[in-house]
Structure 1
Amino acid sequence: MTGDWWFQHDDETVVWTGSPRLSAALGGGMFGLVIVAVALLAAATVDAWIAAAGLFGVGVAGWEFLRVTRTKYVLTTRAIWSKRGVLGRSVRRVGLSQVQNTAYTQPVTGSAFGYGTVTVEVAGGPDLELRRIDDPQTIRREVTDRTGTDDDELPGTVEQWQTVLSVVRDIKAAIE
């Protein structure tokens, strides 16, 4: 499966596809509805032509809806893709070899309803955010599993670290 905005190599598979929750447009949508309500109230009390300002409110609400629905994310075994844009299009590909760190955040409502933001720190570039996605902890784990940047594991074996400790003690003894 390759979209018109991203490509896939032969040995690459899609791990996850997603987009922000529609609730991400709620703030802008409510703002647009307030503009419509104020314009209609002003039209009823002052001048009927003011109702035309309500079209601006409809535009604001529509823009927010399109902004959220036209944002898409794809995670493959090689890269993370992000597409945004209403009138234009902004596509970003981050190879998993460029990922330095990952994190996820959830507001109080995100914890209650299962959504949040995954932040991917990229070597040599700006961070990539997968905003308001479902189950951010699982998506972060999917990215981390494919990059080998899991902070839970220390590199090397216990024997290797004991050897390092022995060498450091020898150096310290030689200096003293």
Structure 2
Amino acid sequence: MTSGVESTDWLPLTPGEEVLWAGTPSLAPATLPMAIGFGLSMVGVWLSREVEVPRVPEQFALVLVPIGLAIVAWAYLSRWSTRYVFTTKAIYEKSGVFSLSVTRVPIGRVQNTAFDQSLIERTFSYGDIAVYTAGSGGVNLALSNVPDPEHVNGLVTTQLSESAASGTEREVASAGRPTS
């Protein structure tokens, strides 16, 4: 399966490791902050040009423009800088606008996965995926705003089943070998 994702500094693919799915968080949750930021910028421009407020200089209204643009930029950059990758051997999450944080969970450690969608998330086809690992006692990796989480969770579940089946085959094969 080709995904356009190649080995990088933050994604060290091992020999034989194939990318099953790669993506970014859905744009849907970022649209409201982006609309608010854009609206603030437009209001700032409009107030500075059209409305005369007593004892308030027009430059004060222009302060809304960079504030609005900063909100738009942050909403977009925080989404753009987050990457999710599922491979045949691990689940990766990369995040960070100014810093870098990468979490890797080997498929062999994954005990269970679950996805969750509210009504709004279901309407716009995104949701959250929780990855539970052996020995953690809870959610080890929480992936937010994943597009089509049911499909992506299904890919992970299928890979878990295949990994478990190949592990069982290796155990059976090694059990039949004589020990020295």
TM-score by length of 2: 0.72
Deviation at 1:35, TM superposition (A): 3.2
Find the counterpart in structure 2 of residue 15 from structure 1: 20
AA paired with 2:14?
H
Asked if the contact 2:131–2:139 (Cα under 8 Å) also holds between the matched residues in 1, the reply is no
Aligned partner (choices 9, 30, 54) of residue 25 of structure 1: 30
Alignment partner, residue 134 of structure 1: 147
CA distance in 2, matches of 1:120, 1:5: 20
Matched-pair contact (CA < 8 Å) for 2:129–2:142: yes
Q: Take 2:37 and 2:43, find their aligned partners in 1: how far apart are those partners?
A: 10
* Among 73, 80, 85, the residue aligned to 1:74: 85
The aligned runs of 1:106-125 (5 Å cut-off) are: 106-123=117-134, 124=136
- Give me the identity figure in percent: 32
Runs of 4+ off more than 3 Å: 37-44
Q: Is the 8 A contact 1:119 1:128 kept in 2?
A: yes
AA matched with 1:114 = S
Q: Structure 2: give runs of 5+ residues left out of the alignment.
A: 1-5, 163-180
- SS in structure 2 of the partner of residue 20 of structure 1: coil
* RMSD value, Cα: 2.2
Q: Which residues of structure 1 form unaligned runs of 5+?
A: 150-176
Deviation digits for residues 83-125 of structure 1, max 9, x if unmatched? 1111111111111122222111122233233222211123437
Q: Which residue of 2 aligns with 1:54?
A: 65
Of the structure 1 ranges 127-136 and 83-92, higher mean CA displacement relative to structure 2 is found in: 127-136
Q: Secondary structure at the match of 2:11?
A: coil
Q: Secondary structure at the match of 2:63?
A: helix
Is 1:102 the counterpart of 2:107? The answer is: no
Q: Which amino acid aligns with 1:130?
A: L
1:85 paired residue among 96, 111, 134: 96
In structure 2, what is the Cα distance between the partners aligned to 1:12 and 1:137?
A: 23
* Higher Rg: 1
